[in-house]
């Protein structure tokens, strides 16, 4: 209710400035307690126990400043980043746009972040504090060797991460999505896995929603061959469904409600390609418990959101988990894991 009162004032501000204020507010608030293990929504993916399947997607907390504040507000896990080896300012402003009529966002941020050194200090300071922290790693825009950047990020961040998310699917760094091509992807993952070592955290791969069937099959095969922990499906889209907002023509990645149908179908496509052999993290257009439940039943073991919090506020995780508990009971499932992919039955 409080957020519904202050949202009109926030929405008078430039979207990026409002986001900065949200980060400052979360830093100022008490951290709160992370969700405990052992509840009805607990699930396990890639050997990691999650208190619930609802996570904050990468992009909100780019510099790992408020992960514990988010964990204290009902999220079962938080993915920070994308973080690159060296600091970079990202693309020119304005680069973040609310599409209010569409309940969507377009961004062309360009991996703006303070770099690995500063982020590593922050995540190291967490110590043994509870809560599942994923770290999303990227490459610098002007890097001469992006594959080497990912390996370097892996070495830096592996000691602090419950999992590492390899982001090769942002549309806002020129040429980055080419790393999803089969040959480049194999070379990239070999470098990351070697840098991680045998005792390092699981590696998740974040893919684009704008893939052809052959791409889905190839990525799935490689992910299974390399024993990745999960596929994160999917990043923002460069496609443009029919939109109403005046910002509909802005370049960048589209997220929020209009992405939902495409992201849902991509989860189904990867589920079919893998036969359920690799866990999926469903992202894109998730705003309600019903959205999350639909993605889980389509094959996602975990879900993430970001854009929906812009419109519904920081209580969204608890709203969704409360609803998921009811939906799980309604449909007769004893656990989230039991429900994954159940629409196929």
342 has binding-site annotation = no
| Coil vs helix vs strand at 234 | coil
Contact 162, 201 (CB under 8 A): yes
Residue 31 is predicted with a pLDDT of 81
Condensed to tens digits (0 to 9), the pLDDT of residues 197-249 reads: 999 999 999 999 999 999 999 999 999 999 999 999 999 999 999 999 999 99
Is residue 235 annotated as involved in ligand binding?
yes
Q: Among residues of the chain, what percentage have pLDDT more than 90? A: 90
DSSP 61: S
Establish whether 3 is an annotated binding residue. Answer: no
State pLDDT tens for residues 90-144: 999 999 999 999 999 999 999 999 999 999 999 999 988 999 999 999 999 999 9
3-class SS string, 158-187: HHHCCEEEEECCCCCCCCHHHHHCHHHHHH
Give the catalytic positions in this structure: 170
Would the pLDDT of 72 be above 90?
yes
Q: Which two tokens stand for residue 129?
A: 């504090």
In the block, residue with structure tokens 């304005």: 94
In degrees and rounded to multiples of 5, residue 219 shows phi and psi of -65, -40
113 is an annotated ligand-binding site residue = no
DSSP code of 195? H
d(CA 302, CA 71): 15
Is there a binding annotation on residue 11? Answer: no
Average pLDDT, the chain: 96
Distance from C-alpha of 154 to C-alpha of 137, rounded to nearest angstrom: 8
Domain 2-335 sits in CATH at: 3.20.20.70
* Residue 344: per-residue pLDDT: 83
146: which residues sit within 8 A by CB, 6+ positions away? 139, 140, 176, 179
Say if residue 58 carries a ligand binding annotation.
Answer: yes
| Crossing angle between the packed helical segments 289-298 and 316-330, to the nearest 10 degrees | 60
Domain ranges of the chain: 2-335
Global pTM reads 0.97
């Amino acid at each position: 209710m409080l957020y519904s009162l202050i949202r009109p004032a926030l929405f008078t501000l430039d979207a990026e400035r409002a986001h900065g204020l949200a980060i400052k507010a979360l830093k100022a608030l008490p951290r709160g307690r992370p969700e405990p293990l052992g509840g009805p929504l607990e699930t396990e993916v890639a050997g990691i126990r999650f208190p619930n399947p609802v996570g904050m997607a990468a992009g909100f907390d780019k510099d790992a400043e408020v992960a514990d504040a988010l964990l204290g507000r009902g999220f079962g896990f938080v993915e920070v980043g994308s973080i690159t080896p060296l600091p970079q300012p990202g693309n020119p402003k304005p680069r973040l746009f609310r599409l209010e009529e569409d309940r969507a966002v377009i961004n062309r941020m360009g991996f703006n972040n303070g770099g690995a050194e500063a982020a590593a200090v922050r995540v190291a300071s967490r110590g043994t504090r509870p809560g599942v922290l994923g770290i999303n790693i990227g490459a610098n825009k002007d890097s001469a060797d992006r594959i080497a950047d990912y390996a370097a990020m892996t070495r830096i961040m592996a000691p602090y991460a419950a999992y590492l998310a390899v982001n090769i699917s942002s549309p806002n760094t020129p040429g980055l999505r080419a790393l999803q091509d089969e040959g480049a992807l194999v070379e990239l993952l070999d470098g990351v896995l070697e840098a991680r070592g045998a005792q390092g955290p699981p590696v998740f791969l974040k893919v684009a929603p704008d893939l052809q069937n052959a791409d889905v099959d190839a990525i799935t095969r490689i992910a299974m061959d390399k024993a990745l922990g999960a596929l994160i499906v999917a990043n923002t889209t460069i496609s443009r469904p029919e939109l109403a907002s005046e910002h509909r023509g802005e370049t960048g990645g589209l997220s929020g409600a209009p992405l939902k149908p495409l992201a849902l179908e991509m989860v189904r496509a990867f589920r079919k390609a893998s036969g359920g052999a690799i866990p999926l993290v469903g992202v894109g257009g998730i705003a309600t418990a019903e959205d999350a439940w639909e993605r889980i039943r389509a094959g996602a073991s975990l879900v993430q959101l970001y854009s929906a919090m812009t419109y519904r506020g920081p209580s969204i995780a608890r709203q969704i988990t409360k609803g998921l508990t009811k939906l799980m009971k309604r449909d007769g499932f004893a656990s989230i894991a039991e429900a994954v992919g159940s629409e196929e039955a």
